[in-house]
Amino acid sequence: MTDLDARPGRTARRTLPGAAPALLGYAAVRALGLLALCVWSAVRDKDAYTLLTARWDSLWYARIAEHGYGYEIRLPNGDVHADLAFFPLLPWLERLGQAVTPLSYADAGFAAGTLASFAAAWGIFAVADLLYGRRAGVCAVLLWAVLPVGIVQSMAYSESLFTALAAWSLYAVLTGRWVAAGTLALLAGLTRPVGLAVVAAVWAAGTASWRRERGARRIGPSARRRSAAPEPGARPTPYAPSPARAPVREGAPVGRRALGMLLAPLGTAGYVLWVGHRTGEGPLGYLDVQAGWRNGFDGGYAFARFVGEKFTSFPSAVAGAALAAGVALVIRLYVVCVRQRQPLPLLVYAGLVTALALCASSYFGSKPRLLVPAFPLLLPLALALARLPTRRSVLVTAGAAVASALYGAFWLNGSGPP
């Protein structure tokens, strides 16, 4: 895998000027999506803002922000939907926004989600630009914006917040800022259960870095120079990292790396242990809370059975085929990521996010939304888009943006994200 430990002088602030076109393009796509939602909702006599801020999970987040934890709903079939299933960082931000501004809790959630979506877009650009250059970075952001369920990035949901923390944590890992990486992983772990993927990425990178340094000490500097020399006649891979673009700086302080790895799991572990203490069920208490929502990890059996049942009749068979094709595309993209030798932390992160989304027994309609944070899967497509002539890439992106806006409006006015 490609290893990038640190890029001297490469700070988040210095990426902002280069990210400006990506952020402007992202704003345009999101504005188009919101416009389509407003028009579609008006035709259906619904309020678009209510769909964005006061339905589904956003209601749970706002209630936690206002009243704290302790609310649950008991359904006729015996299931218990408890608010302890929702991690606390977004409600904390909503409470803070309500306290320091005239906004309501729902408004503060919408503001937090919107600001976080731009932070996420910036982070995605920073990672892609570091690895493959500015043009690929812009394309990666635009592809993330035009996801079919991209409208969720503009909702009072936690997907944008989590993606922002994950992207910047991965960027910190790639640039050798271990304490920042661990701190951001800690916050990601307070945002969603899939924060475990960020923790695993930090730990995998830290372990690999330690092993690489240990091996380097064994072989000595002269052997390292010989092994690093390119083979005669070797040609660089287009859009691949090169020593000139991302020089490797070994020897990150062991203490900082250890501290970052120590900080990373504290968010997830702290909340899970707190839930276990509150419910009196011990460390497995959070799993019991999720079971009340019919959420669990079954290796994808329930989802596969759901897709298979779609093929029992002709009308639903079309939906089944689309679902199967979507899953195949996601898996195919991950395989391409591996073949393109993405850095280890990105592969670990994307792999776990994808596995947790596809192999969970949760509500199947939410799976596209759960894949929104898996932005490394978009990097192969970003590279392909970056290779196209500018006019063609603009046309492709514009067409995808229109399709995404229309689907998002249809989606939220229909079943929507649970």
What is the tens place of the pLDDT at every residue in 165-186?
999 999 999 999 999 999 999 9
How many Å apart are CA 220 and CA 216, to the nearest integer?
6
CA distance 293 to 56: 13
Counting residues of the chain whose pLDDT is more than 90, the rounded percentage is 69
In three-state secondary structure terms, 47 is coil
- 333, 383 Cβ separation under 8 angstroms: no
Residue 196 β-bridge partners = none
Domain that holds residue 50: 17-219+252-412
Number of domains in the chain: 1
Mean pLDDT of 392-414: 95
- Asked whether residue 244 is domain-assigned, the answer is no
Neighbouring C-beta atoms of residue 138, cutoff 10 Å: 27
- 268 domain-assigned: yes
* 227, part of any domain: no
Residue 38 in this model has a pLDDT that exceeds 90: yes
- Whether 248 and 8 have beta carbons less than 8 Å apart is answered as no
pLDDT tens-digit series, residues 42-89: 999 999 999 999 989 999 999 999 999 999 999 988 889 999 999 999
DSSP characters for 307-327? HHHGGGSHHHHHHHHHHHHHH
What is the per-residue pLDDT for 220?
62
Name the token pair of 252. 């990150």
Is residue 391 domain-resident?
yes
Is the pLDDT at 322 greater than 90, yes or no? no
Report which DSSP code applies to 376: G
Answer yes or no: are the C-beta atoms of 130 and 4 closer than 8 Å.
Answer: yes
The verdict on residue 235 lying in a domain is: no
Q: What is the mean pLDDT of residues 361-371?
A: 82
Confidence of residue 242 (pLDDT cuts 50, 70, 90): very low
At 112, which amino acid appears? A
Give a yes or no: residue 4 inside a domain: no
Question: Please, which residues have CB within 8 angstroms of residue 198's CB and are 6 or more apart in sequence?
Answer: 165, 166, 169, 170, 184, 185, 188, 189, 264, 349
Domain-embedded: residue 107: yes
pLDDT at 249: 39
Residue 364 is given by DSSP the state: G
Give me the residues paired with residue 297 across strands: 360
- Reduced to 3 states (helix: H, G, I; strand: E, B; else coil), residue 45 is coil
- Quote the pLDDT of residue 288: 92
Residue 8 lies in a domain: no
Find tokens 């009072």 and name the residue. Answer: 156
CA distance 163 to 195: 10
- Run of H or E including 280: none
